[in-house]
Amino acid sequence: MSTVGILYPGYSAEDDYPRAEKLLTDGSRLPLVHTEMKVDAHREDALLDIGGDDVLAEGARRVAAESGPLDSIIWACTSGSFIFGPEGAARQAATLERAAGVPASSTSFAFVDACRRLGVSTVAVGATYPSDVAGAFVHFLTHHDISVLTVSARDIITAAEVGTLPPETVLEFAEAVSSDAPQADAVLLPDTALHTVEALDALDARLGKPVLTANQVSIWQGLRLAGADIDRPGLGTLFRKG
């Protein structure tokens, strides 16, 4: 049984985490705190602000105080990590690890590690972000030797709006992205504001390939860093060991 601290900016799809926690088979916990979000916008200046070291350090302090000792901690925000660039995102995660005193990572690195786990080298990206922010994610992936064959940017500015998209819309969006590059090894949906936990198996089944989503890979990365990387049904291909 492990405890993975989740730092989540604002309010949109944070309920994916308690949903996922109910599916964990070993009693592991995913305590979550909301970190400060002064401006809800998929815009570079706003994203740099929500991913600041002081914001994350305060979040780490709060989640440990509220939940007890942690085994790992995750900055559950893709855009608020890759927007710093590959080197900046690495420094961000290292700073969070020092502040928390446990292994730490972010959703951006969770995507990279999840692709490596599954042997994925080519992807199709379905981003809810504006095109410039989606482009920064593409740069992050290519820096880590993941080839992006196609990217679809829905140009949604706020996380709050993304959080209202219903499951069928998410499924249809992922299917459309996949059809643009059917040869891609996997489809990536990078926004933690997108509700996906209840649709993970359905996404994989409809597309016939792994669909990696932001909240899914964040949870997987936290459990992996905590030494609790075991088979977990109901959470998509990534969590199946066999």
Give the pLDDT band (50/70/90) at residue 88.
very high
Kindly state whether residues 196 and 225 are assigned to the same domain.
Answer: no
Kindly state whether residues 50 and 26 are assigned to the same domain.
Answer: yes
Which residues make Cβ contacts (< 8 Å) with residue 168, sequence separation at least 6? none
Kindly state whether residues 80 and 125 are assigned to the same domain.
Answer: no
Vertex 104, ends 28 and 199: CA angle to 5°? 50
Kindly state whether residues 147 and 105 are assigned to the same domain.
Answer: no
pLDDT digits (tens, 9 = 90+) for 147-167: 999 999 888 878 788 878 898
pLDDT digits (tens, 9 = 90+) for 56-78: 999 999 999 999 999 999 999 99
Tell me what the pLDDT averaged over the chain comes to: 93
pLDDT given for residue 237 in this prediction = 96
Kindly state whether residues 207 and 233 are assigned to the same domain.
Answer: no
How many domains does the chain fold into?
A: 2
- In CATH, what number is assigned to the domain containing residue 24? 3.40.50.12500
pLDDT given for residue 242 in this prediction = 55
Kindly state whether residues 94 and 162 are assigned to the same domain.
Answer: no
Kindly state whether residues 105 and 19 are assigned to the same domain.
Answer: yes
Q: Which domain holds residue 164?
A: 111-214
**Residue 192 pLDDT more than 90?**
yes
Q: How far is CA 75 from CA 54, 95, 147, 198, 216, in A?
A: 13, 11, 24, 21, 13
Kindly state whether residues 192 and 220 are assigned to the same domain.
Answer: no
pLDDT digits (tens, 9 = 90+) for 99-136: 999 999 999 999 999 999 999 999 999 999 889 999 99
